[in-house]
Structure 1
Amino acid sequence: QLIISLLLYSLSSEVSLSCPQECPSTHDLLNSLRQVEKMLALHETSYQQGLRSLRKKINALHNSTMAFFKNKSPSSCPKPDPPANGRRLGRVFAMGHEVHFLCKPGYELIGPRTRVCLESLKWSGQQPMCRSESHTRLNSTANSLASFSSAASSFAALSASSTTTSSSLASSPTPSSPSSSVRPSNCTHFLGSTHCTCDVGFTISGRDNNICTADIDECHLFPLAQPGRLCIHQCVNTPGSFHCVCPPGYSLSRDGRSCTDIDECENLSHNCTADRLCVNTFGGFKCVTVKCPKTKNATYIKTSPMRCERNPCMFGDKACTQAPNSISFHFLAVVSNMSAPRVLFRVSAARVLGDTLRFGLAGGRGRGHFSVQRSGRQTGTLLLVTSINGPATLEAEVEMSELENNTLLGRYLTKVTLFVSPYMF
């Protein structure tokens, strides 16, 4: 529109300079341009109105979309806040999932330790809070101890008047010598109501729920033989809790329940001398000596720390040629009661000179636990066929014989020593 106005002004100036007022075509041209200016102004107004209408429609569509998502039912519970001076464990808030709450040292959790997202998409129980232990003791010691004394007196009176339950109540605590399995509860008074709780592992009891008795023996509830056991080796019950213990040669894993074998050979905590080899076992170690056999028929020389080879035989010495060409030594560490059958070791020939290769057991302690099978043209496999209850040390001698036209070309002996741990882990 500004361009049209400038054009009209320029055109009118040029017309006034070049043509006097008696020129009728000049007035007609100016009127036409003014009509064009009005028409463009009307188009601009219509465009602005259409743009405003389009913006209103976009805003209405955005508002309806947001309202749809706001009104849509959520698929999880709202995120629960951690208690002051505590923290929340758990990041999934979907239906059926749990969150757990813990307090910092010096604070005690008041309320449920675990909350579950229900089908109503609400958390079970009330929001817990962390209360200072010193504050809780100051508020509840007098009332709790008084109730504890009266409850203990009632236990003593009941024990004296009943003959059928006297033996079971004889160990009940008295005011003068309270047992570590009975302690006062932690009570909080808030808005005219009293809420009492017990430490983890204790059960609240008493007329007014003001004493905690009978420490729960988690080790008894979850024995080692049951699935989901607390400890893989030994569980030690403590007032309100438990802890796991590992046997010598193991360290407690990060989960506080499993045991990890300590490799004494790797960390140099063994006492093997320089002329002996350290072999790590599950829960300990063994110091072994690899020596070549001394026989009348053949002589052997140690060609590596784990291998002995026979010296060449004299021509015609059949006894010497019947002796093994080489003897290899291997040491394996296994756990007790390992499932069977199980592959323990494989013996392979690097090259075959004859036309036949045979594998078999030549000897060793505990032969009834082992078997040798052919697993390939040049490979034999040592199998454990029955489980072994440790601790035990067994030996198996695997013999590989090479023949040509049923004539023995050579024998190769592999001695496998099995160190069975007394533990199943």
Structure 2
Amino acid sequence: MSVMMEFVLNMKVVQVMVLMMSLHHFGLVSAQECPSTHDLLNSLRQVEKMLALHETSYQQGLRSLRKKINALHNSTMAFFKMASCPKPDPPANGRRLGRVFAMGHEVHFLCKPGYELIGPRTRVCLESLKWSGQQPMCRSLNSTANSLASFSSAASSFAALSASSTTTSSSLASSPTPSSPSSSVRPSNCTHFLGSTHCTCDVGFTISGRDNNICTDIDECHLFPLAQPGRLCIHQCVNTPGSFHCVCPPGYSLSRDGRSCTDIDECENLSHNCTADRLCVNTFGGFKCVTVKCPKTKNATYIKTSPMRCERNPCMFGDKACTQAPNSISFHFLAVVSNMSAPRVLFRVSAARVLGDTLRFGLAGGRGRGHFSVQRSGRQTGTLLLVTSINGPATLEAEVEMSELENNTLLGRYLTKVTLFVSPYMF
């Protein structure tokens, strides 16, 4: 546009000079002669015709200049559209972000949960129609077999990144050497395009330095601590250069989202060490090996009728002490998380059939009675409630008794022993 303005000003100067020369030629500026009105009008008409010719020539030159500028613009845009880098492949166990591969454009790379990116997270299409940096790779966080190969690949990527940077060695005196590719400080990615310099950082880094020549790792775990609602990990966050990964406690596996923890059922996958005479009970973060045995008392004898139930043998006629003992004892095991909200229903006890006219429900004993309560929830049903939260790890027991009466005379007692395994974690 500056060239066009200069051209217009030059044309205006030319017009003024032509006007002055014309007036002088026709004697209009002479002080010795006094032309008549008719001569003056003829001279002005001739000057007007000359200016019209100059204006027409100026318009034609302006149109020609515009055509040349448009042609130059179209050819430049066509060059930019045709000039592009080859389509980069996504890394194994990862993906590529970005669909435009023209000069000056960027693509980004991410890894699936459970994998760590080795190499640059961002690559730029350079003027040479080649991508900056090296092809990244995704390394499994649980695998150590290929650690040496990953280290070598990351080191070569870092060396290529340092070579493509425009910073000098003196300004990077405190920067890491290629022998430490996992450092939290590294050079920025600087490219030269159309006479300007553009510096960027890989994903997970922030640009800094006097000339934007330094990339510093962002500590995502520090920005989003566990106590915050938007926490990154449900258990533990481990910061890594340019990223982070979540860690679960023993007995859990990392979920597909890469942030939550899923309990491992050791009893189902047979990874427990319980013997054949003991029962495996899965808990949150582990398992318990329990033994179900019928009680031995002086007043009554019991026999195991199922893996989780004992029934009393018939009592001798007139043995009141035996008839006062429970007719049956059932065993149940529950796994819960720590600090579970209360009140909460834990278990229900129901009578299959009623012989008497009254059913009563209550707590007969057990460890941690202050945490439990029993309520009637139906004609033949009682409910065990958790009334206060429990901070794990802990093991509590509650004995729920159901008594059957006829005219206030005891017909039978049925005992349900509930064992609660409280996890040390809230998930």
The normalised TM-score by structure 1 is 0.61
Change (3 A) 1:30 1:378: farther
Change (3 A) 1:57 1:271: same
Q: CA deviation at 1:211?
A: 1.4
Contact residue 155 and residue 169 of structure 1 kept, 8 A: no
Contact residue 154 and residue 181 of structure 2 kept, 8 A: no
Deviates more, 1:43-52 or 1:189-198: 43-52
Match of 2:175 in 1: 172
1:381 is the counterpart of 2:383: yes
* Helix, strand or coil at the partner of 1:16: coil
Cα-to-partner distance string for 1:142-190 (whole Å, 9 max, x where unaligned): 9999999999999999999999999999999899999923211111111
How many residue pairs get aligned? The number is 412
State how far apart, in whole Å, the 2-side matches of 1:323 and 1:35 are.
136
Contact residue 326 and residue 412 of structure 1 kept, 8 A: yes
State how far apart, in whole Å, the 2-side matches of 1:244 and 1:84 are.
21
Change (3 A) 1:366 1:141: closer
Change (3 A) 1:334 1:177: closer
State how far apart, in whole Å, the 2-side matches of 1:396 and 1:353 are.
26
State how far apart, in whole Å, the 2-side matches of 1:328 and 1:174 are.
67
Contact residue 252 and residue 261 of structure 2 kept, 8 A: yes
Change (3 A) 1:151 1:381: closer
Change (3 A) 1:203 1:320: same
* Helix, strand or coil at the partner of 2:400: strand
Q: CA deviation at 1:339?
A: 0.7
Contact residue 121 and residue 203 of structure 2 kept, 8 A: no
Contact residue 8 and residue 33 of structure 1 kept, 8 A: no
Change (3 A) 1:185 1:292: same
* Helix, strand or coil at the partner of 1:293: coil
Cα-to-partner distance string for 1:321-357 (whole Å, 9 max, x where unaligned): 1000000000000111111111000000000001110
- Once superposed, which parts of structure 1, at least 4 consecutive aligned residues long, lie more than 4 Å away? 2-11, 13-69, 75-131, 137-179
* Helix, strand or coil at the partner of 2:257: coil
Deviates more, 1:161-170 or 1:407-416: 161-170
Change (3 A) 1:37 1:299: farther
Deviates more, 1:93-102 or 1:258-267: 93-102
Task: Give % identity.
Answer: 96
Contact residue 159 and residue 169 of structure 1 kept, 8 A: no
Q: CA deviation at 1:56?
A: 38
Q: Which runs of 5+ in 1 are unaligned?
A: 70-74, 132-136
Contact residue 374 and residue 400 of structure 2 kept, 8 A: yes
State how far apart, in whole Å, the 2-side matches of 1:329 and 1:138 are.
42
Cα-to-partner distance string for 1:182-238 (whole Å, 9 max, x where unaligned): 21111111111111111222221122111113x211011111111121111110001
Contact residue 82 and residue 88 of structure 1 kept, 8 A: yes
Cα-to-partner distance string for 1:77-130 (whole Å, 9 max, x where unaligned): 999999999977699999999999869999999999999999999999999999
* Helix, strand or coil at the partner of 2:143: helix
Contact residue 358 and residue 406 of structure 2 kept, 8 A: yes
State how far apart, in whole Å, the 2-side matches of 1:9 and 1:195 are.
55
How well do the aligned residues superpose, as a CA RMSD in angstroms? 19.8
Cα-to-partner distance string for 1:283-315 (whole Å, 9 max, x where unaligned): 000000000000011000000000000011111
Q: Of the candidates 127, 131, 134, which is equivalent to residue 119 of structure 1? A: 127
State how far apart, in whole Å, the 1-side matches of 2:53 and 2:169 are.
107
Change (3 A) 1:119 1:231: farther
Deviates more, 1:102-111 or 1:243-252: 102-111
Contact residue 160 and residue 166 of structure 1 kept, 8 A: no
Contact residue 122 and residue 203 of structure 2 kept, 8 A: no
Q: Which runs of 5+ in 2 are unaligned?
A: 1-13
Deviates more, 1:179-188 or 1:225-234: 179-188
Q: CA deviation at 1:28?
A: 89
Q: CA deviation at 1:63?
A: 30
Change (3 A) 1:329 1:239: same
Q: Of the candidates 128, 131, 146, which is equivalent to residue 136 of structure 2? A: 128
Change (3 A) 1:29 1:109: closer
Change (3 A) 1:308 1:168: farther
